[in-house]
Amino acid sequence: MSPAGRAAQSRVAVLARPAPASAFVGTGTLLRLALRRDRVRIPVWVVFAGYLSIAVAQSWDRLYPTVGSRRELATSIAVDPTLSAILGPLFDPLGTGGLTAWRIGSGTLLAMGLVASFLVVRHSRADEVEGRAELLLGGPVGRAAPLAAALATAAVLLLAWGLVTAVLLRAAGLDTGGSVAFGLGQACAGLVLAGFAGVATQLARTSRGANGLAGLAIGLAFLVTATGNAREGGSPLQWLAPFGWAQQTRAYAEERWWLLAVSVAAALVLAAAALHVAARRDLADGLIAQRPGRGGAATWVTGPVALAWRLDRAGLLVWAAGFAVLGAFEGALLTTSVDLVTGNAALLELLERLAGGTTDIRDAFLVDMTGLFSLVAAGFGISTALRLRAEEEDGRAETVLASPRSRVAWLFGHGSSALLGSVLLLVAGGLTLGLVHGAAEGDALAQGLRATGASLLGAPAVLLLVGVTLALIGVRPSWAAPVSWVLLVWCVLTGFLGAVLGLPEWLRQTSPFGHVPLWPAVAMSWTPVVVLTAVAVALVAVGVLALRRRDMPS
């Protein structure tokens, strides 16, 4: 037989290959592949979250060393619906374990739930969009196997986090039963949030849409629980979402072990629904029909920069809304936070150290709260700038650069939305913080402008991190994502958590956020603003020059 005949016969044999007997064939192989792909991400997140829990646990004896100080804290929390809404009820105000579970429970569950959700989307819908799933399903792999492997990978992440947290808290001297209840309660509730992502991957046709739907579902779940917590005496709303189930497990305070089964059952129902759809729907399609696009581009979309802003518009609006909500929460907390630390010498000392030695508690809290805006805005800037790398890997950059458009214009597309968008987020957060706090003080406009100015002082450090991403995209694009995210995590550890963890001052100064002026807590200094801005501009210039000279993949 001729070579052409043998090739034709081979193609016929492939097309005639029978479908796998089960929709889950190949799940174990894909799970091993996913764990290999995330062999760095999963340990980093598990260790980081576990270390944060033990650091907070060890800080209570320093901040609230006496029974009297802890009773005062519990009294202040009981009369503050905003703090109770965000962090949940405090079931054991006298024990270190109860205080730790109350302080970090909702925050770490929210963060790890988002991490697990994005991981599910990455190993399922994102692979479909980029064509990898089609190659896998051409072999002996069932239709539901990719999603099943993605959900199993998220379960490995969450259960590892729960077990590591429980072991570390027990090693810190806390009760064994409470430590296990807290760790497993968080992990099981996280499985429900990962189940939301599994359903989202079947609804949306794109990975960005799936991430958006999963994030929206998690945000609504948090809001429902917060609304229930804010009502005096509690509310049935506390029992409608996984955040409430994790809180009501009551770690270190007469644990309710049966709530772990509730979370697992809900996670299994969501996973079963998502897998049922995955085994039957068309590949690369979603249950939500894609809206037909316009016949032509808007008149203002005239080049790569305008196109990038058009593509990033929805994401920027969602982030801005999130910053506005966060700012409003922090503004409502500002007055109460002052009451919480008044008379607590240890906490006052820590707060003064964080804010440069000021004795004005309000200004110290303002500096700390706006500092959080900077770190989150840096995350937005890095993720937006990395879209340049995704455009290059997926071949869309080649199509744009085949037209009479320069590489510099292409770089400043998503690069400009990352840089300027981060600044807009700082404005949104600072302005709402000041307006809400000022409304309670009777001086909304002045406080709004003051908080906005304090928030914008973090912009040079944010732009520096985004500049690092853009420079790496030009010099060594394969390093852009890992180096940028590792640098941000380092800034969180040394800057935002440095004082709480007791890190030395020289180590905290290795973060660009360690050089941000602490106005209005201390006198304004423009030197670090100028230096950080100059470094950011230089990094962007390095990225531009390197991109003009390096090869582009085809």
Token pair belonging to 292: 């037909």
Give the helix ranges, DSSP H, for 300-360: 304-341, 345-354
CA distances (Å), origin 52, targets 145, 155, 176: 34, 20, 18
| Mean local confidence (pLDDT), 504-527 | 82
Which distant-in-sequence residues (6+ apart) come within 8 Å of 486 by Cβ?
Answer: none
10, pLDDT greater than 80 = no
Token pair belonging to 360: 């004005």
| Nearest of 157, 155, 172, 180 to residue 52 by alpha carbon | 172
- pLDDT value for 308: 79
CA angle, 312 as apex, 310 and 314 as ends, to 5°? 90
20, pLDDT greater than 70 = no
Q: How confident is the model at residue 11 (pLDDT cuts 50, 70, 90)?
A: very low
534, pLDDT greater than 80 = yes
| Mean local confidence (pLDDT), 230-251 | 85
- pLDDT value for 348: 55
**CA separation for the pair 308, 418 (Å, rounded):** 10
Residue 204 contacts residue 286 (beta carbons within 8 Å): yes
Residue 202 contacts residue 193 (beta carbons within 8 Å): no
| Mean local confidence (pLDDT), 355-368 | 66
| Mean local confidence (pLDDT), 399-427 | 84
DSSP 8-class letter at 62: H
Q: Which residue would you say has higher pLDDT here, 397 or 545?
A: 545
Q: Which residue would you say has higher pLDDT here, 381 or 438?
A: 381
554, pLDDT greater than 70 = no
Give the helix ranges, DSSP H, for 231-257: 242-248
- pLDDT value for 413: 82
In this structure, of 5-9, 323-327, 457-461, the range with the lowest mean pLDDT score is 5-9
305, pLDDT greater than 50 = yes
- pLDDT value for 538: 94
- pLDDT value for 106: 86
pLDDT tens-digit series, residues 104-113: 888 889 889 9
Which distant-in-sequence residues (6+ apart) come within 8 Å of 32 by Cβ?
Answer: none
| Mean local confidence (pLDDT), 62-71 | 79
Most confident of 188-197, 287-296, 300-309, 438-447: 188-197
Q: How confident is the model at residue 314 (pLDDT cuts 50, 70, 90)?
A: confident
- pLDDT value for 246: 93
| Nearest of 66, 192, 201 to residue 127 by alpha carbon | 201
- pLDDT value for 344: 55
- pLDDT value for 190: 95
**CA separation for the pair 311, 156 (Å, rounded):** 34
- Say what percent of the chain tops pLDDT 90: 30
- pLDDT value for 121: 93
79, pLDDT greater than 90 = no
231, pLDDT greater than 80 = no
Q: Which residue would you say has higher pLDDT here, 244 or 518?
A: 244
244, pLDDT greater than 80 = yes
- pLDDT value for 6: 47
Residue 305 contacts residue 413 (beta carbons within 8 Å): yes
| Mean local confidence (pLDDT), 143-158 | 94
Most confident of 214-223, 255-264, 285-294: 255-264
- pLDDT value for 358: 54
| Mean local confidence (pLDDT), 453-479 | 91
DSSP 8-class letter at 2: -
| Mean local confidence (pLDDT), 387-396 | 79
- pLDDT value for 497: 66
13, pLDDT greater than 50 = no
The chain-wide mean pLDDT, for the chain, equals: 82
pTM for the model stands at: 0.79
